[in-house]
Amino acid sequence: MVLELQRKASICRIGAFCAFIAGACYSLIVCCAFLSPSTIASYVTSAQYFDDFVSYRPIFIFLKCLMIIANASFVGVVVAFHSLVRAKNYGKMTVFSILAIIGLGVGIFQSVLDMTMVPYLADQYAAGSPLVKEVIIALGVANPAIYIASLGLPGLWFIFVSIMALNNPNIPKLLVLLGFMWGVGNIVTVFAHVAIIIWLIYLVAFGALCAAPIWSIWEGIYLFRLSKGYQEKVQESVVKYYQSTNIINTNDSLA
């Protein structure tokens, strides 16, 4: 019992820190996305794309670094949620948690690929012959369909955990709603990137700028409170154990 409480206290504390880090990174990511020209946001390779990339390059690399940190941190949030799942939802939660972690891993790989290959292709385009430029434009710099995994799978996780939390009286309903909106936003972002709908990409980014910090900070505070509650229960159990063995009474008499 005590070990189980300690385990939950530890993982909730780590989950809280991860929520704060991921939320801060996602907020900065959205700000960087707003600064991106439409050609960069669409991932459609063209001569204009490489012209715009010259000035946007430092922000692009910074954005991808933030994505790596955010996705890696969010794994801790997913694991924390899984550790707190109710028994009746354990099987479904396990499946969706695995899918979310796969998606986050794909997102990390996607960011590493983008931050290394896109600048390299931009350099090759700038120094290349007309034939080389045509080949680079024909092949493209990235495949936005990868967002189906990197954003879609975590989005499904958000939607699932939000639906499962609707009948949980211990979780604030507004927090559940924000999580559901984040999940829907992920799915819509996938569609917007695949279908190349620029205005929709910016619209979802604006929603994320509002929802991501609120959800992350609130969720982090919620997990911290849970961790503190579990830790207090651990201390109470330890005190009761020592009292039952008369260790505390013996120490009191010696004092």
Q: What's residue 232's pLDDT?
A: 73
Those residues whose C-beta lies under 8 Å from the C-beta of residue 151, and which sit 6 or more positions away, are 103, 107, 186, 187, 189, 190
Q: What's residue 250's pLDDT?
A: 45
Higher per-residue pLDDT: 133 or 195 = 133
Higher per-residue pLDDT: 195 or 151 = 151
**What confidence tens digit (pLDDT) does each residue in 101-110 have?**
999 999 999 9
**What confidence tens digit (pLDDT) does each residue in 223-239 have?**
888 888 777 776 777 67
**Does the pLDDT value for residue 253 go beyond 70?**
no
Average pLDDT over residues 143-158: 90
Q: What's residue 241's pLDDT?
A: 66
**Does the pLDDT value for residue 251 go beyond 60?**
no
Average pLDDT over residues 200-225: 81
Q: What's residue 255's pLDDT?
A: 39
pTM of the model: 0.84
How high does pLDDT run on average in the chain? 84
Q: What's residue 246's pLDDT?
A: 61
Those residues whose C-beta lies under 8 Å from the C-beta of residue 212, and which sit 6 or more positions away, are 23, 26, 27, 30, 182
Q: What's residue 254's pLDDT?
A: 35
**Does the pLDDT value for residue 169 go beyond 90?**
no
Q: What's residue 93's pLDDT?
A: 92
Q: What's residue 97's pLDDT?
A: 94
Q: What's residue 1's pLDDT?
A: 66
Q: What's residue 139's pLDDT?
A: 85
Q: What's residue 111's pLDDT?
A: 93
Q: What's residue 41's pLDDT?
A: 77
Task: Tell me which long-range contacts 209-212 makes (C-beta under 8 A, separation of at least 24).
Answer: 209/27, 209/30, 209/31, 209/34, 211/178, 211/181, 211/182, 211/185, 212/23, 212/26, 212/27, 212/30, 212/182
pLDDT band, residue 167 (cuts 50/70/90): confident
